């Protein structure tokens, strides 16, 4: 991952460490997921993890939850590194942030799939 995306992601996650996410933002995220190409399913999984963590159905530490919230807010925000109204490029930074979050949360995602979804995790 390029260092610029990593710097943006790390700063964003720190900024959203204690932020609450609204139901409206979660709904907006679900509608914008279609723009994330091959990461649609991964992003929807992050949304589900966020909802389950907020409702207490899935326990995760606050840092991991902040990564998810930061990722969701970044995707729904019209103002980010490359604004979404810019054709193609506007979604590339969103995809990069989602990919970064997926990598950082790989163990948490596997635990979620196993505990909440009953998926067999292949190691």
Residue 41 pLDDT > 90, yes or no? yes
> Running DSSP on this structure, what letter comes out for residue 18?
T
Q: Read off the tokens for 40.
A: 């649609």
Give the residue from 102, 105, 121 showing the smallest Cα distance to 43. Answer: 102
Inter-residue contact 65 to 50 (CB < 8 Å)? yes
Q: Read off the tokens for 120.
A: 């067999």
Q: Where are the domains of the chain?
A: 3-117
pTM above 0.85, yes or no: no
The reported pLDDT for the residue numbered 4 is 72
In this prediction, residues 13-41 reach a mean pLDDT of 85
The reported pLDDT for the residue numbered 89 is 56
The reported pLDDT for the residue numbered 82 is 53
In this prediction, residues 41-68 reach a mean pLDDT of 94
* Cα 88 to Cα 107: distance, rounded to the nearest angstrom: 30
The reported pLDDT for the residue numbered 97 is 87
Inter-residue contact 105 to 64 (CB < 8 Å)? yes
* Cα 88 to Cα 22: distance, rounded to the nearest angstrom: 27
The reported pLDDT for the residue numbered 15 is 72
* Cα 100 to Cα 104: distance, rounded to the nearest angstrom: 6
- Return all residues near 61 (Cβ < 8 A) that are at least 6 apart: none
pLDDT digits (tens, 9 = 90+) for 60-101: 998 899 899 989 988 888 765 555 545 555 667 788 889 999
What is the chain's length? Answer: 123
């Amino acid at each position: 991952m390029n260092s610029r995306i990593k710097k943006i992601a790390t700063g964003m996650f720190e900024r959203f460490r204690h932020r609450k996410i609204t139901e409206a933002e979660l709904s907006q995220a679900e509608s914008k997921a279609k723009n994330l190409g091959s990461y649609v399913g991964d992003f929807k999984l992050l949304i589900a993890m966020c909802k389950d963590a907020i409702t207490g159905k899935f326990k995760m530490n606050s840092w991991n939850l902040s990564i998810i919230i930061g990722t969701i807010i970044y995707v729904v925000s019209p103002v980010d590194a490359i604004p979404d109204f810019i054709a193609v490029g506007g979604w590339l930074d969103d995809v990069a942030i989602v990919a970064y979050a997926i990598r950082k949360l790989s163990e948490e995602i596997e635990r979620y799939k196993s505990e909440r979804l009953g998926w067999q995790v292949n190691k």
